[in-house]
A and B are shown apart, each in its own frame.
Chain A
Amino acid sequence: MLKKGCIQLGCLSVFAAAIISGCGSSSTPAPVDAKSTGATQSTDKKLRIAFIPKGATHEFWKAMEAGARKAAEENNVELLWKSALKEDDRAEQVKVVENFTNEKVDGIVLAPLDENALTSPSKEAMNAGIPVLIVDSGLKGLEPVSFIATDNYQAGKECGEQLAKAVGAKAKVVLLRYQEGSASTMAREQGFLDAAKEKGLEVVSSEQYGGATRESAQSASENLIARFKSGDGLTIKGIFTPNESTAFGMMRALQTAQLLGKVTLVGFDSSKELLDSVKKGDIEGLMLQDPFKMGYLGVTNMVKHIKGEKLEAKVNSGSVFVTKANIDSDSVKALLPKN
C-alpha cells in the first residue's frame, strides 16, 4: 500500500516537474528557463541579475521595470524580473528571494516589502556570495552593496511644506496612511507630520489606513470625508496621501462627493488619472519619484559592483513636486510614464 503510494507520488512529481519546465519555456523569463539557456549559449557569459519589486500592477513598478530593462540591454545582462504575487504578501517575497539565492544568480536587486521580514533571506543571499542591492524601501540590520531610493522622509517633508504653503498656517489637515509596516510610506508620513508641526498645521486625523487596494483606500477616504463634512464643505483644508493607491482613492471619493477642488490634496506617485487631475487643478500637487531611474541605477550599479567598482552606500534617485504650473516642463515630463 505504502509502496504504491510512493510510486504514485513519484509519478506525480515527475509530472509536476514536466509542467513547471513546460511553463518555463514560454516567453516569461522564469528562473528555470534562464538557467537552461544560460548553459547552452556559453559564448559570452551573460550576467544574470534578479530584480524583485514589491508588486507588478502599480504604474510605479512598470516604470521601474522599464528602467531596469534598459540598463540590462545596455550592459548585456539577463534580467530576471519577478514580483511577489500580492503587493502586500511578505512571505511570498521572502520565497522569491530564497529561490533566486538557490538559483545562484549573479546579483539580486530587491525592493523589500517589509523592513524586517526580508532581512534574513537577504543576509542568506549575501552569505552565499550573491550581492544584494536594495532599492525603494529600506531594510534593517543589513549592509547592502548600495541603497538606491527616494529620500522618502525629505520628500514627505517637502509635501508637508507645499501643503502648508497652499492652505496657510493653523489650517486643519488630514493624513490618510497607506499600510502598517511599509518603510517608504511610513517615512513619508513621518516627514509630513514633522513638516506639519513645524509649519503649525493642525493634523486632525492621522490614524486611518487606506490598505492594499484602491477600493479599500476609497472606502477609508469616504469615511474620513463623512467625518469632517459640514454642510456642503469640509472642516479640513488639506489632505496628504503617501502613495498612488491612497491618492487615487481619496481623489475618487472627493470626486463622487462633489468636493474636488474644495480641499487641497497633495499626493505621492503618479498614474494617468492623478496627472489628469493635477492638470485640471483638482489635485494641488504630486510628489513624483523617479522609478525609471531607480530601476536603471539598480541594474547598472549592480553590474559595477560585480565588476569590482566601489559604490556609495546611499544613492538618492531624486523626486520632483509636480503642480499644475510645472507639469508641462521637460524635467517633469521625463518622469512621466511614456505612452
Chain B
Amino acid sequence: MIRKHPILGVLFAWIAIYAIFAYLKPNTFLAFDIVELMMRQSIIIGIGALGMTYVIINAGIDLSAGSVLALSSVSGALVYNQTGSPSLVVLACLSTGLIFGCLNGVLVSRLKAGPFIVTLGSMLALRGLAKGFAHEKTVSIVDKFVQPDLLLFNLASGLPKSQKWQLFPLGAWVWIVFLVILAVALNYTTFGRNVVAVGSNEAAAKLCGIPVNSVKVGVYSLAGFFFGLAGLMSFSRTTLGDPTSGAGDELKMIAAVVIGGASLSGGEGSMVGTALGVLIMSTISIGCSQMAIPNWIQEILTGVIILTAVAIDRWRASKLAAA
C-alpha cells in the first residue's frame, strides 16, 4: 500500500486539475472529444517518456531524446521519399532510434563520464547529424508519394467520423500497449529488476553479479527505440522530416517522469506514474488554450506542478525515514 501511494497521489493530482477545468468549462471538458485530443497530443512525449522512465530508474538521464527524435523523423521522411513504403519508414525510424540509443548506452558505460555529459554531447552531435542528413532544411514529401489518407500519416491525427469507434488514433494505442508491456517488464522480468538494482546502487549491483554495463546498454537502447518511435509519430503528425523537431522535448519527458514520482537519483519510478505525468502536462496545455490563458501562465503552472511533485516526494521520503 505504501508503495502504491505515490501513483495514487499523481492520479488524484491529474483528476483534480481536470476537475478544475471541467468546472470552469464543462461543455468542453465533459465531452469525449477533448480526451481524444489530449491523448493525441500526449503521444509523442508519452512514447518518449516510456524510454526515459527506464533510463531515470537506472539512475541515468538521456538528453539526446529530442535529437534522436528529429533524426528518426528525418530518416523516416528520406526513406519514404526513396521508397514510398510505410513499413520501411517504420523500420527506418525504429532502427535509427535503436542504433543511436545503443551508441549512447555504450558511451555511457564505457566513458564513465556520467550520462549527463555523455548524452549532452550526443544531443548536440545528433542534432547536427539530423540537420546534415536533411541538408539543413525540412524534408518534404515528394509529390508522387503524397497520400494524406495513408495510415502512416494518421497515427497521431484526429479520427474521421467512420472510425470514431476506435476511440483514439493508432499511435495512442501503441503508447498504451507499450506502457503495459514496459510496466510488466519492470516488475516481472529479471532485466527489469536489474534496471532497478543498478539504479539504486550500482556498486552493490556489480558485486551481486549483475552485468551492469550490459544492463545500461540495454536501457539506453530501449530508450532509443522509443525516441525513434516518437520520431515516427512526429513524422506522421506533421508529414515532414523536420530536423528542428523535438528540441526541448527531452526536458518535457524528464518532467513527466519526475511528476510521475521517479527520483533522479535512480531506483524509483513507475510507468503508470509517468503516463499520468504526461497527461497532467497535456491537460494543462489544452486547458490553458481552451480557457484562452496566455502561454506564460501555462509555463508557470507546469513549473509549479513539477516543484510540487518533487516537494511532496521529498516530504514523503523524510516521513518514511522518520517512521
A residues apposed to B, CB below 8 Å: 55-59, 62, 85-87, 180, 205, 207-209, 212-215, 218-220, 222-224, 226-227, 229, 248-249, 252, 255-258, 271-273, 276
- Candidates B41, B246, B289; contact of A224 at CB < 8 Å: B289
State the CA gap A257–B157 with chains docked (Å).
8
Contact indicator B154/A256 (Cβ below 8 Å): yes
Contact indicator A215/B237 (Cβ below 8 Å): yes
Contact indicator B245/A213 (Cβ below 8 Å): yes
Within 8 A of A (CB), among B74-101: none
A-B pairs, 6 with minimum CB distance: A223-B289, A256-B157, A56-B136, A272-B140, A207-B294, A256-B158
Contact indicator A252/B134 (Cβ below 8 Å): no
- Candidates A85, A209, A252, A276; contact of B295 at CB < 8 Å: A209
Contact indicator A57/B242 (Cβ below 8 Å): yes
Residues on the A chain within 8 Å of B209, using CB: none
Query: Closest residue to B153 on the A side, CB-wise?
Result: A256
Given A57-B136, A271-B140, decide whether A215 and B245 contact each other with a Cβ distance below 8 A. Answer: yes
Query: Closest residue to B233 on the A side, CB-wise?
Result: A215
Interface size class of B (residues with CB under 8 A): 35 or more
State the CA gap A337–B151 with chains docked (Å).
30
Extra A-B contacts (14), CB below 8 Å, given A207-B293, A271-B138:
A56-B136, A57-B243, A58-B138, A59-B138, A207-B294, A208-B292, A209-B295, A213-B244, A213-B245, A215-B237, A220-B289, A226-B37, A226-B290, A273-B239
| Interface flag for B214 (CB, 8 Å) | no
Contact indicator A222/B244 (Cβ below 8 Å): no
| Interface flag for B234 (CB, 8 Å) | yes
State the CA gap A273–B238 with chains docked (Å).
11
State the CA gap A249–B40 with chains docked (Å).
15
- Candidates A58, A208, A214; contact of B289 at CB < 8 Å: A208
Residues on the B chain within 8 Å of A55, using CB: 244
State the CA gap A104–B127 with chains docked (Å).
30
- Candidates A62, A87, A205, A229; contact of B33 at CB < 8 Å: A229
Binary flags per residue of B138-166, CB closer than 8 Å to A gives 1, else 0:
10100000101000001001101000000
Query: Closest residue to B40 on the A side, CB-wise?
Result: A222
Within 8 A of A (CB), among B225-278: 234, 237-240, 242-247
Total number of residue pairs linking A and B with CB closer than 8 Å: 99
Contact indicator A223/B37 (Cβ below 8 Å): yes
- Candidates A180, A214, A220; contact of B238 at CB < 8 Å: A214
Contact indicator B237/A273 (Cβ below 8 Å): no
Residues on the A chain within 8 Å of B65, using CB: none
Query: Closest residue to B69 on the A side, CB-wise?
Result: A215
Taking the closest CB of chain A, its distance from the CB of B258, in whole angstroms, is 21
Contact indicator B242/A215 (Cβ below 8 Å): yes
B residues apposed to A, CB below 8 Å: 28, 33-34, 37, 40-41, 44, 127, 131, 134, 136-138, 140, 146, 148, 154, 157-158, 160, 234, 237-240, 242-247, 285-286, 289-290, 292-295
Contact indicator B134/A223 (Cβ below 8 Å): no
Contact indicator A215/B140 (Cβ below 8 Å): no
- Candidates B146, B158, B295; contact of A257 at CB < 8 Å: B158
Contact indicator A215/B131 (Cβ below 8 Å): no
- Candidates B237, B244, B289; contact of A227 at CB < 8 Å: B289
Residues on the B chain within 8 Å of A213, using CB: 242, 244-247
State the CA gap A222–B148 with chains docked (Å).
17
Given A56-B136, A222-B37, A227-B290, decide whether A215 and B234 contact each other with a Cβ distance below 8 A. Answer: yes
Given A214-B245, A218-B238, A258-B160, decide whether A57 and B138 contact each other with a Cβ distance below 8 A. Answer: yes
Residues on the B chain within 8 Å of A256, using CB: 154, 157-158
Contact indicator A226/B247 (Cβ below 8 Å): no
Contact indicator B292/A207 (Cβ below 8 Å): yes
Query: Closest residue to A55 on the B side, CB-wise?
Result: B244
Residues on the B chain within 8 Å of A56, using CB: 131, 136-137
State the CA gap A59–B245 with chains docked (Å).
15
Residues on the A chain within 8 Å of B244, using CB: 55, 57, 86-87, 212-213
Taking the closest CB of chain A, its distance from the CB of B290, in whole angstroms, is 5
Residues on the A chain within 8 Å of B292, using CB: 205, 207-208, 227
Contact indicator B131/A252 (Cβ below 8 Å): no
Taking the closest CB of chain B, its distance from the CB of A286, in whole angstroms, is 16
State the CA gap A62–B140 with chains docked (Å).
14
State the CA gap A272–B141 with chains docked (Å).
9
Can you list 10 A-B pairs with a CB-CB distance of less than 8 A? Answer: A57-B134, A57-B242, A57-B243, A213-B242, A215-B245, A219-B285, A223-B290, A227-B289, A271-B140, A273-B240
Residues on the B chain within 8 Å of A257, using CB: 158
Instruction: Give the interface centre of B44, B244, B290 by most chain A CB atoms within 10 Å.
Output: B244
Contact indicator A226/B33 (Cβ below 8 Å): yes
Residues on the A chain within 8 Å of B245, using CB: 213-215
Residues on the B chain within 8 Å of A258, using CB: 158, 160
